[in-house]
Chain A
Amino acid sequence: MEITLNGVKVQVEEGWTILEAARFYGANIPTLCYYDGLEPYGSCRLCVVEIGKDDRAKLVVSCIHPVKEGLKIRTHSPRVVKARKILVELLVARCPTSKVLQDLAAELGVDKVRFKPKNEDCILCGLCVRMCKEQMNAEAIGFVSRGVNKRITTPFNAKSDKCRTCGACEWICPACQLRCHGPEPPTTLCSGCLNFSPPCVDKYEDAMCYLDPCVACLIDKNEKKIGKKKK
Chain B
Amino acid sequence: MKKVKNPQELETLRKTILQEKYSEKPCIIISEKSTCCYLSGSREVVEAFEEGLKNFDLQNQIDIKTTGCLGFCEIEPIVIIEPKGIVYQKVKREDTLEIITETILNDIIVERLLYVEPVSGNKCKTEESMPFYKKQSRFILGNNRFINPLEINDYIAINGYKALANVLYKIKPEDVIDEIKKSGLRGRGGGGFPTGKKWEYARAAKGDPKYVICNADEGDPGAYMDRSLLEGNPHSVIEGMIIGAYAIGSHEGFVYVRNEYPLAVNHLQNAIKQAEEYGFLGKNIIGSGFDFTIKISRGGGAFVCGESTALMASLEGKPGEPRAKYIHTVEKGLWNKPTNLNNVETWANVPLIINRGADWYSKIGTDKSKGTKIFSLVGKINNTGLVEVPMGIKLNEIIYDIGGGIPDGKKFKAVQTGGPSGGCIPESLINLPVDYEKLTLAGSMMGSGGMIVMDEETCMVDVAKYFVNFLKEESCGKCVPCREGLERMGEILTDITEGKSNDEDLELLEELGEVIKDTALCALGGTAPNPVLSTIKYFRDEYKAHIEDKRCPAGVCKALIEYSIDLNKCTGCGLCLKQCPQDAITGEKKKAYNIDPMKCIKCGACYDVCKFDAIIKK
A residues whose Cβ falls under 8 Å from a Cβ of B: 42-46, 48, 58-61, 64-66, 79, 82-83, 86-87, 90-91, 93-94, 114-116, 123-124, 143, 145-150
From A45, A116, A124, A148, contact of B519 by CB (8 A): A45
Question: Are A147 and B477 neighbours in the complex by a CB distance under 8 Å?
Answer: yes
Partner of B487, one of A58, A87, A148: A148
Is B508 an interface residue when CB atoms closer than 8 A count as contact? yes
Q: In the complex, what residues of B have CB within 8 A of residue A148's CB? A: 472-473, 475, 477, 483, 487
Apart from A43-B480, A90-B485, 16 more pairs, CB < 8 Å: A42-B521, A43-B521, A45-B479, A60-B324, A61-B324, A79-B518, A86-B485, A86-B515, A90-B481, A90-B488, A124-B477, A146-B474, A147-B477, A148-B473, A150-B476, A150-B477
CB contact between A115 and one of B304, B324, B481, B491 (< 8 Å): that residue: B491
The interface residues of chain A lying within 8 Å CB-to-CB of B491 are: 115-116
Knowing A146-B302, A150-B477, the reply to whether A59 touches B483 (Cβ < 8 A) is no
B326 close to A48 (CB less than 8 A) = no
Whether A147 touches B475, Cβ cut-off 8 Å, given contacts A43-B521, A59-B518, is: yes
How far is it, in angstroms, between the C-alpha of A211 and the C-alpha of B564 when the chains are bound?
A: 65
> Which of B326, B475, B515 is the one whose CB lies under 8 Å from A64?
B326
Q: How far is the CA of A87 from the CA of B479 in the complex (A)?
A: 10
**A150–B480 contact, CB under 8 A?**
no
Closest to B475 in A: A147
User: Which residues from B are CB-within-8-Å of A114?
Assistant: 504, 508
Q: Determine whether the beta carbon of B488 is less than 8 Å from that of A42.
A: no
- Cα separation A82 to B514 with both chains bound (whole Å): 10
- Nearest A-chain residue to B490, judged by Cβ: A148
CA distance A90 to B304 in the complex (A): 22
Contact present for A146 and B476 (CB under 8 Å): yes
B571 to chain A, nearest CB (A): 48
Q: Does A146 lie within 8 Å of B324, measured CB to CB?
A: no
The A-B contact count (CB < 8 A) is: 94
Q: Which single residue of chain A is at the shortest CB-CB distance from B521? A: A42
Scoring B472, B491, B518, B520 by chain A CB atoms within 10 A of each residue's CB, the highest score goes to B518
B300-343 at interface with A (beta carbon < 8 Å): 302, 304, 319-320, 323-324, 326
Give the B interface residue count (CB, 8 A).
Answer: 33
Q: Mark B526-560, 1 if CB is under 8 A from A, else 0.
A: 00000000000000000000000000000000000
In the complex, A185 Cα to B484 Cα: how many Å? Answer: 20
Closest Cβ neighbor of B304 among chain A residues: A146
Alpha-carbon gap, A64 to B474, bound state (A): 24
From B481, B491, B508, residue with most partner A Cβ within 10 Å: B481
A17 to B375, CA, bound (A): 42
If A66-B326, A91-B484 touch, whether A45 touches B475 (CB-CB below 8 Å) is no
Q: List 5 A-B contacts (CB under 8 A).
A: A42-B324, A48-B518, A90-B484, A91-B480, A147-B475
Residue from the list A43, A82, A149 in contact with B479, Cβ < 8 A:
A43
Q: Does B511 contact A (CB under 8 A)?
A: yes
Complex-state Cα separation, A162 to B473, whole angstroms: 31
Are B476 and A147 neighbours in the complex by a CB distance under 8 Å? yes
With both beta carbons as reference points, the residue of chain B lying nearest to A50 in the complex is identified as B518
Min Cβ gap B427→A in Å is 29
Q: Is B480 in contact with A45, judged by CB distance below 8 angstroms?
A: yes
* Complex Cα gap A116–B472 (Å): 17
Is B478's beta carbon under 8 Å from chain A?
yes
Q: Mark B465-501, 1 if CB is under 8 A from A, else 0.
A: 0000000111111111101110110010000000000
B488 touches A115 (CB 8 A): yes
Most buried by B among A66, A116, A150: A150
B326 in contact with A146 (CB, 8 Å)? no
- Bound state CA distance, A58 and B487, in angstroms? 24
Task: Say if the beta carbon of B512 comes within 8 Å of chain A.
Answer: yes
Q: Which residues in B have some Cβ–Cβ distance to A below 8 Å?
A: 302, 304, 319-320, 323-324, 326, 472-481, 483-485, 487-488, 491, 504, 508, 511-512, 514-515, 518-521
Closest to B505 in A: A114
Which of chain B's residues has its CB closest to A126's CB? Answer: B478
B319 contacts A143, C-beta separation under 8 Å: yes
Inter-chain contacts of A82 with B (CB < 8 A): 511, 514-515
Q: How far is the CA of A177 from the CA of B563 in the complex (A)?
A: 54
For B481, what are the chain A residues with a Cβ–Cβ distance below 8 Å?
Answer: 45, 86-87, 90
CB distance from B569 to the nearest CB of A (A): 44
Q: Which of B304, B323, B483, B504 has the largest count of A CB atoms less than 10 A from its CB?
A: B483
Q: In the docked arrangement, what's the CA distance between A91 and B483, Å?
A: 11
Which of B473, B474, B484 has a CB less than 8 Å from the CB of A94? B484
Distance (whole angstroms) from the CB of A202 to the closest CB of chain B: 14
Contact, CB under 8 Å: B324 / A124: no
A143 to B320, CA, bound (A): 11
9 nearest CB pairs, A to B? A150-B477, A90-B484, A86-B515, A147-B475, A45-B519, A59-B518, A147-B477, A83-B515, A64-B324
- Cα A43 to Cα B520 in complex, Å, equals 9
| A43, A59, A60: residue with the most chain B Cβ atoms closer than 10 Å | A43
Question: Among B472, B488, B491, which residue has the most Cβ atoms of chain A within 10 A?
Answer: B488
CB distance from B503 to the nearest CB of A (A): 12
A120 (CB) vs chain B CBs: closest residue: B484
Report B-chain residues with C-beta under 8 Å of the C-beta of A93.
484, 488
| Complex: chain A residue closest to B508, CB-CB | A114
A45: B residues at CB distance < 8 A: 479-481, 519-521
A198 shortest CB reach to chain B, Å: 17
User: How far apart are the CA atoms of A150 and B304 in the complex, in Å?
Assistant: 14
Contact A146 B475 (CB under 8 A): yes
A44 to B477, CA, bound (A): 11
Cα-based distance from A61 to B508 in the complex (angstroms): 23
Are A124 and B326 also in contact (CB < 8 A) when A45-B519, A146-B302, A147-B477 are? no
Closest to B519 in A: A45
What's the nearest-Cβ distance from chain A to residue B84, in Å?
Answer: 53
